[in-house]
Amino acid sequence: MKRPSRRQFLIGGGAVGGGLLLGYGLLSPERREVAGGIIGGEGAQLTTWVRIHPDNTVTFYVPHGEMGQGVHTALPMMAAEEMEADWDLVRMEQAPATPTFANGPLGKGYLTNGGGVPSALNGTANFAFYKLAELMNLQITGGSTAVRFTGQFGMRVTGAAAKEMLIKAAAKKWGVAESECTARLSHVLHEASGQKATFGELAELAAEFSPSANPVLKDKKDYTIVGTAKQRFDIPAKVTGESMYGIDVKVPGMLYAAIKQVPVIGGSVARVNDSEALAARGVRAVVTLEDGVAVVADNTWRAKQALDLLEVEFADGGNGHVSSDSIFAQFDKALAENEGEEDVEKGEGAAALAGAQTVVEADYRVPFLAHATMEPMNCTVRIENGKCDVWIGTQDGLGTRAVAAEAAGMSDDDVTVHTLMMGGGFGRRSPGSPNHIIQAVKIAKEVGAPVKLTWSREDDMQHDYYRPAVSARMSAGFDEEGNLTTWVNRYIRKDEPAEASHIPYAVANQSIRYVESEVHIPYGPWRSVAHTQHTFFNESFTDELAHAAGKDPYQFRRDLLKDQPRHLAVLDLAAKKANWGGPLPEGHARGIAVQESFQTIVAEVVEVSLDENGRPRVHNVTAAVDCGEVINTDTARAQVESGIIYGLTAALYGEITVENGAVVEENFPDYEMVRLANTPKMDVHFIESGAKLGGLGEPGTPPVAPALANALFSLTGQRIRSLPLKNHEFSRSNRLAQAAD
Amino acid sequence: MISLQVNGEWRELDVEPDMPLLWAIRDELGLTGTKFGCGVAACGACTVQVDGVAQRSCVLPVGAVEGASVRTVENLGTADNLSALQAAWIKHQVPQCGYCQSGMLMAADALLTENPNPSDADIDAAMTNICRCGTYQRVRAAIHDAAKAKA
């Protein structure tokens, strides 16, 4: 059998146990055949994750995009831990967007022939790999999945299997028993004989062994890497300006494009006069697309300037009459006229309200939100000799490839996606949001030269895929003893994740139902997706109920969480760390909220006052987080801080308004952000419950809006049932008058 | 032709004088560390120093800086020879996506040059850049740390 060369060496050597391939990339032809036979003909490979170099460094290939969430460091930490690699010798590289780094055939097989993972495999190592395969097929970075799935089921197992193979290699080489060899700091040792070899020296021999399907994972108490604070690999290049984002790409012969987009979403270009634009300095072409007119020039600014010289008439596609007001009126009507589809029905459901002693009702709503990543959307494309190259920062390399292939009229195999750093993602650079990619491909195809399309901030804000505007009609009932017995919620739009609208509280009768009400504003996942709206609705309404019951909002929640020990623990920790009930400066108040999202439970306490203009001023946010286990302690903290600021910006200022079918807000001056001067002090505490690993990229965001609104109620007596807070006037006079009574 | 010094080197640019400095730096000189964020001087991602003063290059016509000395993030320090500010940025693991950080660093560097020991209020006033990842708390800590290191 032909041995893989040292350079080609990758951990893994074969197919084992029911079609499982482990961290395996450059298969020798013989093994490829075996793998193909077992998996079903396409020679599937479950990604190339690790390479050991002769100098004893180890490179881990990470199939997720880096957008600041630290995944390029956390995943290698998980693999290195199990492998017993010396962290100082660990390197990482972004895995390319090719099926080698996904697991197309394996994942596809189970997705298409049965719609999921075979239930018989639940809880087995194989299950983990199948689950992973589903995700890898799309190569998605989103849903707070990287550590939870790729890390837990892929990186850890790969590292452990690699270690076993290296030990086998050492034992064979030295003629000793495997059980007498140990791996530590990128070496294998045989203590009795004093023999020692580096992973690099053993790599070639190790490649001849097959990886175990169920390698033994380390006991958490023996961890030396996971659970510590490791500096992120991507940070040094981000302080020297060397980090390459999509927008920074320069391809030989490249031209620069800017676009005038159809303002009304769903509208079209009716007429174009481009003679003046074409005459401007540096302009090479004008390309008319379905959703805009692009100018291609020799410099980004020249292309942008020439847009003003275009004479374009647009058609509104029948949406020119739509406004935010008409959309919310449509929602009100839909909620009034429909019983809705079942989400949760428990006990007697809504019928129980009839027998309630007290009923509380409230209508809630949230507006559309843009992602506003710091790096505006951009995409660089070269179509040449029947091949298409795409340079982009994306949350889904393979999805991008498919989108580009379709737009170019080519097969996926003819498209190469070069994945670059993302200047923010938050869902905007996820699979279903490809308008900028399609535009860039079509422009490059028509121009016949490489083109970088760079959107303006205005394009980015007005042609996003938005967090949906939604409404909810809430009601609840108490019995004679003041116990909460009924929870009813009718809301617009069932969204992902499905459980976002559910409550953790022990309420006997529940009726949670949804009504679909189509709008023409495109939908996109926005950091924590449906949890953003539902946590605001549910946790604000819970606060209303606490006050209606005359109970402290923290104690009220505690009483309803008796059967939810993890929720209770984070709630208690947040309250304790924030000194809930303790003294506060004059004119300050606290609010609390708790939410589970992506298997992580977060409770936040917000401390607020009003500034001299009556605007909310957030002083402190205390967060307690149970994500099961923390991988990189500092990155974990940073993610929660980031989620809080993202949610706070939305709560205070975030509102995309629709008028005449188009988005009104254009740029940061009218879509304001939290900045350094109004950043609260954030204090993040983790509980290592040992529960299943939860995500961290998103769960910090949902609780902050309701915690803040609840704090404002405590301060002013004003209940906030719609966001953002900038639309509300606040005054403490009501509250002070109530206190004086 | 417009002449200006960029990171200590004289450069000649055959561009319209009303082209913003940002696009002259990025597209003509190929220095991509300086970022485009908003085009209206609202976010600070494009911050560079002009004769030592932090300026938002997306609205600054290149003709207005003829003969001036422009400094970009590429001149702040290299991986092998980091400035105290960059070292503090790494120590506090400030960047997340990192896109706004060139502008943050150039603004912070100008602040420390003018005011070697800034108070929190000074930092609030000088650091108006937007960071969508919300790294502000760490930006503040790193500036204080760099000030101490330089003292």
- Global pTM value: 0.91
Q: Is the pLDDT of residue A255 over 60?
A: yes
Q: Is A372 on the interface with B (CB under 8 A)?
A: yes
Better-predicted residue by pLDDT, A212 or A320:
A320
Percent of chain A at pLDDT > 90 equals: 73
A240 vs B86: CB contact, 8 Å cut-off? yes
Distance CA A472, CA A95 (A): 42
Q: Is the pLDDT of residue A28 over 50?
A: no
Bridge partners of residue A669, in order along the sequence: none
- A390-401 pLDDT, tens digit per residue, is 999 988 888 899
Q: Is A199 on the interface with B (CB under 8 A)?
A: no
> May I ask the CATH architecture of the domain A15-232?
2-Layer Sandwich (3.30)
The reported pLDDT for the residue numbered A51 is 77
A679 vs B136: CB contact, 8 Å cut-off? yes
Residues A350 and A486 sit within 8 Å (Cβ to Cβ): yes
* Cβ neighbours of A391 in B, within 8 Å: none
Percent of chain A at pLDDT > 70 equals: 85
The reported pLDDT for the residue numbered A586 is 96
Distance CA A663, CA A47 (A): 42
The reported pLDDT for the residue numbered A83 is 93
The reported pLDDT for the residue numbered A739 is 67
Section A271-294 average pLDDT: 98
> May I ask the CATH architecture of the domain A246-317+377-454?
2-Layer Sandwich (3.30)
Q: Is A376 on the interface with B (CB under 8 A)?
A: yes
Q: Nearest C-alpha of chain A: how many angstroms from B125?
A: 7
The reported pLDDT for the residue numbered A203 is 84
A242 vs B82: CB contact, 8 Å cut-off? no
From residue A563, give the alpha-carbon distance in Å to each of A505, A542, A567, A717, B89.
Answer: 9, 17, 9, 31, 44
B132 vs A374: CB contact, 8 Å cut-off? yes
CATH number of this structure's domain B84-150? 1.10.150.120
The reported pLDDT for the residue numbered A146 is 65
The reported pLDDT for the residue numbered A4 is 28
The reported pLDDT for the residue numbered A66 is 78
CA atoms within 13 A on the CB side of A529: 20
- B82-119 pLDDT, tens digit per residue, is 999 999 999 999 999 999 999 999 999 999 999 999 99
Q: Where are the domains of chain A?
A: 15-232, 246-317+377-454, 527-740
Section A282-299 average pLDDT: 98
Looking at domain B2-75, its CATH superfamily turns out to be Beta-grasp domain (3.10.20.30)
Q: Where are the domains of chain B?
A: 2-75, 84-150
- A527-545 pLDDT, tens digit per residue, is 999 999 999 999 999 999 9
B137 vs A642: CB contact, 8 Å cut-off? no
Asked whether the domain spanning A527-740 has the same topology as the one spanning A246-317+377-454, the reply is yes
CB pairs under 8 A between A and B: 186
Section A11-38 average pLDDT: 28
Distance CA A420, CA A96 (A): 10
Residues A633 and A228 sit within 8 Å (Cβ to Cβ): yes
pLDDT band at A156 (very low <50, low <70, confident <90, very high): confident
Section A8-31 average pLDDT: 29
Q: So what CATH class is A527-740? A: alpha beta
Element (H or E) spanning A106, and its range?
Answer: helix A104-112
* Cβ neighbours of B78 in A, within 8 Å: 240
pLDDT band at A142 (very low <50, low <70, confident <90, very high): low
Both structure tokens of A213: 């399907």
Burial of A51 (0-12, 13-18, 19+ CB in 10 A): buried
Both structure tokens of A378: 């951009």
Q: Is B93 on the interface with A (CB under 8 A)?
A: yes
Distance CA A102, CA A49 (A): 11
- A634-661 pLDDT, tens digit per residue, is 999 999 999 999 999 999 999 999 999 9
pLDDT band at A129 (very low <50, low <70, confident <90, very high): very low
Q: Is the pLDDT of residue A480 over 50?
A: yes
Section A687-695 average pLDDT: 90
- Nearest CB among B99, B134, B136 relative to A423 is that of B99
pLDDT band at A266 (very low <50, low <70, confident <90, very high): very high
B27 vs A372: CB contact, 8 Å cut-off? no
The reported pLDDT for the residue numbered A125 is 36
Section A365-381 average pLDDT: 98
pLDDT band at A510 (very low <50, low <70, confident <90, very high): very high
Q: Is B43 on the interface with A (CB under 8 A)?
A: yes
pLDDT band at A144 (very low <50, low <70, confident <90, very high): low
* Cβ neighbours of B104 in A, within 8 Å: none
The reported pLDDT for the residue numbered A52 is 82
* Cβ neighbours of A244 in B, within 8 Å: 32
Of A212-216, A355-359, A709-713, B34-38, which gets the smallest average pLDDT? Answer: A212-216
pLDDT band at A15 (very low <50, low <70, confident <90, very high): very low
The reported pLDDT for the residue numbered B74 is 98
Cα Rg, chain A, nearest whole Å: 28
pLDDT band at A673 (very low <50, low <70, confident <90, very high): very high
Distance CA A170, CA A178 (A): 8
Residues A455 and A379 sit within 8 Å (Cβ to Cβ): no
Task: Please name the residue that has the structure tokens 């004086």.
Answer: A740
Say if residue A669 is preceded by a cis peptide, omega within 30 of 0: no
Q: Is the pLDDT of residue B130 over 80?
A: yes
The reported pLDDT for the residue numbered A5 is 29
Mean pLDDT over each residue of chain A, to the nearest integer: 86
Task: Please name the residue that has the structure tokens 């309701």.
Answer: A706
pLDDT band at A59 (very low <50, low <70, confident <90, very high): confident
The reported pLDDT for the residue numbered A208 is 76
Section A577-582 average pLDDT: 98
Residues A642 and A696 sit within 8 Å (Cβ to Cβ): no
A68 vs B130: CB contact, 8 Å cut-off? no
SS3 A443: helix
The reported pLDDT for the residue numbered A741 is 60
Q: Nearest C-alpha of chain A: how many angstroms from B5?
A: 19
Section A339-345 average pLDDT: 97
* Cβ neighbours of A635 in B, within 8 Å: 93
B101 vs A239: CB contact, 8 Å cut-off? yes
Q: Is B139 on the interface with A (CB under 8 A)?
A: yes
The reported pLDDT for the residue numbered A149 is 63
A633-652 and B136-150 are packed helices; what angle lies between their axes, rounded to 10 degrees?
120
Distance CA A427, CA A438 (A): 18
The reported pLDDT for the residue numbered B147 is 97
The reported pLDDT for the residue numbered A60 is 81
- Nearest CB among B23, B90, B100 relative to A231 is that of B90
The reported pLDDT for the residue numbered A41 is 24
Both structure tokens of B107: 């603004």
From residue A63, give the alpha-carbon distance in Å to each of A133, A691, B89.
Answer: 12, 25, 27
The reported pLDDT for the residue numbered A468 is 98
- Nearest CB among B31, B72, B95 relative to A238 is that of B95
pLDDT band at A141 (very low <50, low <70, confident <90, very high): low
Mean pLDDT over each residue of chain B, to the nearest integer: 97
- Nearest CB among A242, A300, A669 relative to B40 is that of A669
Of A123-132, A176-185, A431-440, B52-61, which gets the smallest average pLDDT? Answer: A123-132
Q: Is B130 on the interface with A (CB under 8 A)?
A: yes
The reported pLDDT for the residue numbered A111 is 29
Q: How far is CA A148 from the centre of its chain?
A: 12
Q: Is the pLDDT of residue A11 over 70?
A: no
Q: Is the pLDDT of residue B124 over 70?
A: yes
The reported pLDDT for the residue numbered A10 is 29
Task: Please name the residue that has the structure tokens 């939305």.
Answer: A650
The reported pLDDT for the residue numbered A596 is 97
A421 vs B98: CB contact, 8 Å cut-off? yes
